[in-house]
Structure 1
Amino acid sequence: MSKHFCFCIPVRFGVFLFSFISFALSALSAALGWFLLHLIDTNQLSRLETNVKDDDKAAFEASLHKYKWAVIVGSIIFTFVALVAFFGFVGSIIRNRRMVKAYSVLTILSFFLGSFASGFVLYATWSHKPFCVTVDNVKSCTESNLSTGGKIGFTVGIVFQWLIQLYIVTIIRRYYQQLEEEREYRNDFRLNPTTGGTYEAKEGLLATQGAYPYSDNQHRFGSNA
């Protein structure tokens, strides 16, 4: 039978939805990363520095030039994530086990990397240490201006986002396990995909309840049976 999440939603629809969202956000992030790299190479960072103090502007530009490699790596990673998320999206439509597996593995990996990044962001938020870079023997620093309440709200948001990502990882893994169980069933019993009478979960993205097979006049039991 089909696995579900949130009590009644098929995990296949969850993978379909989350892979589409992941693809859209990753593709957007990759595009922004490559655009930022273009601005760095062409010295056009001033296009992003509206309403920024001169000291913060200097620190911002110096940071991006010094850590240009990080922008490149981030852009490559988001591009790769977008491609694999696209595979997961297609895999959920055509029920391809290998595509869904690749998407599941990448989601687990990105979850652990994201957890590490979230921990670093929280440390930077609460450590009260400014971020400084030195370019041409000139040191420029910038630091967070969040209040204690703002930091608490930011921390709650990070934790909530982490829990949602963990749940998404679980849903994708469930769908991959469902496809594995269906494959094992077909191998064990030499059956092709059939209708709802076998184990095979052949529902659509949003499963609907079919008619009860013994509810028509030809199959009902009554006084004339």
Structure 2
Amino acid sequence: MSLLTLVASGAAAALAWYILWEVDHHASGFTDVSSDSKIVVIVAGSIFTVIALISLFGFIGAIGANRRFIKAYSALVWVVFLLTLAGGGVFLYAVFSGKTKNCEFTDDQGNKHSCALNLKLWEKVVATVAVVVDVFITLYVAVVIGRYAEQLDDSRDYYAAYSRAESNPKQGLLNPTTQYPYSDNTHSFGAQA
């Protein structure tokens, strides 16, 4: 999952930075772009860049079983889940209300049109199912990654408890260097005084 997130968010970040470059250099017809739109592109590019970096850490952490990298990636996936939930709600509101706020566009002939969504019932059902499936997949991934982080914590705690033992871990069990305390006659089983 971290590799897929890395590729997808890296591609989205690259696209956002490319669009910003096009806007700044007035290329490809970007001649009249408002500063608000540029800010939106900058924020989107920054967010996708951060997601790509944390996904890279998650990928490295998954390969090397690095607990800190996995925890950071787990936190990111939970944030992505919350954003998916909020975005899905906004999308479903737009689908079922059929409205978008202050949205108009002009076609090639100069006619102005509203951006109202006039979807059929089956299109609304498909959109709802897609949003619900996306939310549940993101929730599943967040839970799995969170459990993997807990598993790494548990294994670290398990090994840490036994590494504090006073015996030398490289010493074999069949070749003790100290004398067994009950092997002398005064402490042995059935010894007579």
Match of 1:75 in 2: 45
- The answer to whether residue 142 in structure 2 is matched with residue 169 in structure 1 is yes
1:146 positional shift: 3.1
The answer to whether the 8 A contact 2:98-2:119 is kept is no
**Deviations along 1:23-52, whole A, 9 cap, x unmatched?**
0111011111112222333344548xxxxx
The one-letter code of the counterpart of 2:60 is V
Equivalent-residue separation in structure 1 for 2:59 and 2:87 (angstroms): 26
The answer to whether the 8 A contact 1:131-1:143 is kept is no
Larger Rg: 2
Equivalent-residue separation in structure 2 for 1:123 and 1:44 (angstroms): 35
1:142 positional shift: 2.1
Equivalent-residue separation in structure 2 for 1:39 and 1:143 (angstroms): 29
The answer to whether the 8 A contact 1:23-1:83 is kept is yes
1:187 positional shift: 1.6
| TM-score, normalization by structure 1 | 0.63
Match of 1:128 in 2: 98
Match of 1:110 in 2: 80
Instruction: Percent identity, please.
Output: 35
CA change 1:142–1:41 in 2 (3 A) is farther
CA change 1:147–1:66 in 2 (3 A) is farther
**Deviations along 1:79-129, whole A, 9 cap, x unmatched?**
000000000100111111111111111111121122111111111121111
Which blocks of at least 5 consecutive residues in structure 1 are unaligned?
A: 1-17, 48-60, 195-225
1:84-103 alignment runs, 5 A limit: 84-103=54-73
Equivalent-residue separation in structure 2 for 1:128 and 1:182 (angstroms): 52
Question: SS of 1:132's equivalent?
Answer: coil
- The answer to whether residue 23 in structure 2 is matched with residue 23 in structure 1 is no
CA change 1:94–1:39 in 2 (3 A) is same
**Deviations along 1:137-194, whole A, 9 cap, x unmatched?**
xx974233432211210111111011011000011011101100011101212179x9
Match of 2:19 in 1: 36
TM-align CA RMSD: 2.6
Match of 1:143 in 2: 116
Match of 1:52 in 2: none
Equivalent-residue separation in structure 2 for 1:84 and 1:113 (angstroms): 16
Question: SS of 1:20's equivalent?
Answer: helix
4+ long deviations beyond 6 Å: none
| TM-score, normalization by structure 2 | 0.72
Match of 1:190 in 2: 163
CA change 1:68–1:146 in 2 (3 A) is farther
The one-letter code of the counterpart of 1:108 is W
The answer to whether the 8 A contact 2:3-2:55 is kept is yes
